[in-house]
């Protein structure tokens, strides 16, 4: 795994821990199909959560929370639809797309932010 892959994996590990500590159940990580990849699929009560994780080092060009563009949001909605189709449809609580942004400072603990319903 290259340095960028290791950085992303570290951020996804932190995100999965944050979601679990918030009471969610992580169903899958790095789910892939021809259309792309979902970083984390989780349940929050009776709602399905498709979670995009963006990890950046401090001082990077853009904040990770700015990384979900309208094009990216549409791709996440399409991926959520494919996942639902392959797994029996939407749960009673519907589907939500969340974003977890991770910033790794030069010193100190990572800063992890969770935004619900971004797309």
CA atoms of 19 and 42, how far apart (whole Å)? 8
Q: Give the pLDDT band of residue 2 (cuts 50, 70, 90).
A: confident
pLDDT at residue 67 in the model = 79
- Taking 70 as the threshold, does the pLDDT of residue 1 lie above it? no
> In this structure, is the dihedral angle defined by the CA atoms of residues 105, 37, 82 and 76, taken in order, positive or negative?
positive
Going along the chain, which residue ranges are E strands?
25-33, 36-44, 47-57, 95-104, 111-115
- Taking 70 as the threshold, does the pLDDT of residue 7 lie above it? yes
> In this structure, is the dihedral angle defined by the CA atoms of residues 11, 97, 34 and 68, taken in order, positive or negative?
negative
SS3 per-residue string spanning 19-40: HHHCCCEEEEEEEEECCEEEEE
Query: If one looks up domain 3-115 in CATH, what number appears?
Result: 3.40.1350.10
- pLDDT tens-digit profile of 44-103? 999 999 999 999 888 766 777 787 888 999 999 999 999 999 999 999 999 999 999 999
Contacts of 44 (CB under 8 A, 6+ apart): 22, 23, 24, 93, 96
pLDDT at residue 6 in the model = 85
């Amino acid at each position: 795994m290259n340095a960028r892959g290791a950085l992303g994996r570290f951020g996804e590990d932190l995100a999965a821990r944050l979601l679990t500590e918030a009471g969610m159940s992580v169903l899958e990580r790095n789910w892939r199909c021809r259309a792309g990849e979902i970083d984390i699929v989780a349940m929050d009560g009776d709602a399905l959560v498709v979670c995009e994780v963006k990890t950046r080092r401090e001082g990077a060009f853009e904040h990770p929370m700015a990384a979900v563009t309208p094009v990216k949001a549409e791709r996440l909605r399409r991926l959520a639809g494919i996942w639902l189709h392959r797994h029996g449809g939407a749960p009673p609580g519907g589907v939500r797309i969340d974003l977890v942004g991770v910033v790794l400072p030069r010193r100190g603990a990572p800063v992890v932010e969770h935004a619900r319903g971004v797309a």
